[in-house]
Amino acid sequence: MFVDEVDIHIVAGDGGNGCLAFRREKFVPRGGPSGGDGGNGGSIIIVASPHTNTLINYRFHPEFAAERGQHGMGSNCTGHMGADLELPVPIGTLVYERTDDPEHAWRLLADLARDGERVLVARGGHGGRGNARFASSTNRAPRRTEPGGPGDEKYLRLELKLLADVGLVGFPNAGKSTLISRISAARPKIADYPFTTLTPNLGVVRLSSDRSFAVADVPGLIEGAHRGLGLGHQFLRHLERTKVLVHLVDISSATGRDPVMDLDTVRTELELFQPALAAKPQIVAANKMDTVAPRQAPGTVSESNRDDESRVTALERRASDLGLPFFRISAVTGEGLPALLETMWRRLAAAGTGEKAAPIEEDGAVSTPRARSHRPESNAARRRRRTRATRIRQLGEGRTANAPDRSASDRVPAPAKDHRDHHGVAAKKRRSPARSPSE
C-alpha cells in the first residue's frame, strides 16, 4: 500500500523535577543541601532513510511521544536524560507544522531530500534545578526547587514527493507502465483498462558509460482533473522534483480520442495544477506505433487492421508548433526507445543538476551527517596539539631520543659528579661502628 501523506501528533519528553534533599551523614553535623537536578526530556527527530519508501507506518500509528527525563535525587545525583525518538521517513519527505493562522494552516519546516538528513521537530523539556543550586552565603539550607519544563507538542503533516529526474504523464492506458517496465527494472501492474496505475512507480534507467537517471510514472490524467475528476491532481506533486517531462500519447484509434487533443488537455491540466510544472522541459512521444500501418507508396492499399498514419502526422505537427521534440516509439516492441532515452539524458544534462537548499526555520534546522558544528578547542586538546608540534620540531632538529647517534668526536664528556655537602667539604664514606659480641 502506497501512502504519501499523513498527519501525526508528537509530544517531546518533559524534563525531570529538581530534588529537595539534605545530606544527613554520621559525623557531618552540617551536610547542607544535596538535591540534584532533573534530566532533560527526550526530543523527537525526523530522519530521511533509504530503507523506507512509504508513510504507511504513520497512517495507523499517528501518536508519538519521547521519553521524559528522570527526576533529580539526593547526594547531588542528576536524573538521566530521556532518550531521543527518531522517526524514519522516505527520502523526499516534506515536514509541515500546523499553525493557528487560518490563511496558512501549515508551515513548511524542512524538505528532507538527501539520505541521512535530520530535522529536530520537537525539543524536550529542560530538567528542573534541585535545592543544591540555590545555596548561597545567606541561604545555607534552601528549600526551593524547580519543576521540569514541558516538552514541545506539535501536529505535523508528512508529505512525500518522489525523487525522479524524468516524469511520464499522459492519459490513462497510454502505455506509461509498459514503458517504465521496458526501460527499467520496475514491474508495475499492466492491464488493458484505464487507471491500472493507482500509485506512482519509480524506476532507474541505465545507459552506456555508467549513465543513469530515475523515471517516475504517475496515474493518468483526464480532462477536469483539477476539479477532482478521475484521480485528480493527487499524485502530480510527485512530478514537482523532476527536471524533464515526457508526454506519452496513445495514437491508436482504439481510444476514440484525438491525439492532438490529448496532448493539449494534459498540458492544460499541468498549467492549472502548477505553472512551474508546465514550464519544465518537455518531450512528446507517440506511443503504440506498432498499431500504425507503415508508410505505403502511392497507389498501394494499406493493411486494414492498422491505423492510418495521419494521426501521427497531426501530432508531430502540433509538437513542432509547440517547439517540443517528437519521437515515434512502441513500448511493446522497443521501437524508437534508444533515441528517446538519449534525448532524455541530453535534456537532463542541459537542465543541470543544481538542487535547492532545504529551508531552515527555528527548530526545523536540517542537518546532514557531513555537516558538523564548529566547537571551541578544549584546554586538553590545545596542550596535546602543542606537545605534538614541539616533538615534531625537536625531531627535525635531532634533539629527541630517537635522533641518530652523534660521532665520538662530537660527544662532550659529562662532568664528574662531586659529592660534597652543603659546606663544600667532600663527603666521606660512612662506616657503621662494629658491634661488640655482648650486643
pLDDT, one tens digit per residue, over 376-413 is 567 777 777 778 777 777 776 665 444 445 444 444 45
Q: What is the mean pLDDT of residues 256-279?
A: 87
Question: Given this model, what pLDDT does residue 77 score?
Answer: 92
- 412 CB neighbour count, 10 Å cutoff: 6
Judged against a pLDDT cut of 60, whether residue 60 lies above it is answered with: yes
Question: Given this model, what pLDDT does residue 119 score?
Answer: 93
C-alpha cell at 306: 492498422
Question: Given this model, what pLDDT does residue 189 score?
Answer: 76
Question: Given this model, what pLDDT does residue 121 score?
Answer: 94
Question: Given this model, what pLDDT does residue 300 score?
Answer: 45
Q: What is the mean pLDDT of residues 101-125?
A: 90
| Residue 84 to residue 68: CA distance in whole angstroms | 9
Spell out the domain ranges in the chain.
Answer: 5-160, 166-351
Percent of the chain exceeding pLDDT 70 equals 78
The architecture in CATH of the region 5-160 reads Distorted Sandwich (2.70)
Question: Given this model, what pLDDT does residue 70 score?
Answer: 94
Q: Binning pLDDT at 50, 70 and 90, where does residue 357 land? A: very low
Beta bridge partners of 217: 168, 201
If you ran DSSP here, which 8-state letter would residue 226 be given?
G
Look up residue 419 and give its amino acid: H
Q: What is the mean pLDDT of residues 277-294?
A: 85
Question: Given this model, what pLDDT does residue 209 score?
Answer: 81
Judged against a pLDDT cut of 60, whether residue 180 lies above it is answered with: yes
The architecture in CATH of the region 166-351 reads 3-Layer(aba) Sandwich (3.40)
- 307 CB neighbour count, 10 Å cutoff: 18
Question: Given this model, what pLDDT does residue 372 score?
Answer: 43
Instruction: For 289-310, write each residue's pLDDT tens digit.
Output: 888 766 554 444 445 556 778 8
Q: Binning pLDDT at 50, 70 and 90, where does residue 353 land? A: very low
Instruction: For 218-241, write each residue's pLDDT tens digit.
Output: 887 877 776 767 666 777 778 888
- 61 CB neighbour count, 10 Å cutoff: 10
| Residue 328 to residue 337: CA distance in whole angstroms | 9
Judged against a pLDDT cut of 70, whether residue 431 lies above it is answered with: no
Question: Given this model, what pLDDT does residue 64 score?
Answer: 95
| Residue 338 to residue 217: CA distance in whole angstroms | 19
Question: Given this model, what pLDDT does residue 414 score?
Answer: 52
Closest CA to 199 of 50, 344, 5: 5
The 3-state secondary structure of 301-344 reads CCCCCCECCHHHHHHHHHHHHHCCCEEECECCCCECHHHHHHHH
Q: What is the mean pLDDT of residues 79-96?
A: 92
- Residue 271 CA neighbour count, 13 Å, CB half: 7
Find the range with the poorest average confidence among 29-43, 196-210, 300-314.
300-314
Question: Given this model, what pLDDT does residue 39 score?
Answer: 94
Question: Given this model, what pLDDT does residue 257 score?
Answer: 84
Find the range with the poorest average confidence among 47-51, 92-96, 230-234, 357-361.
357-361
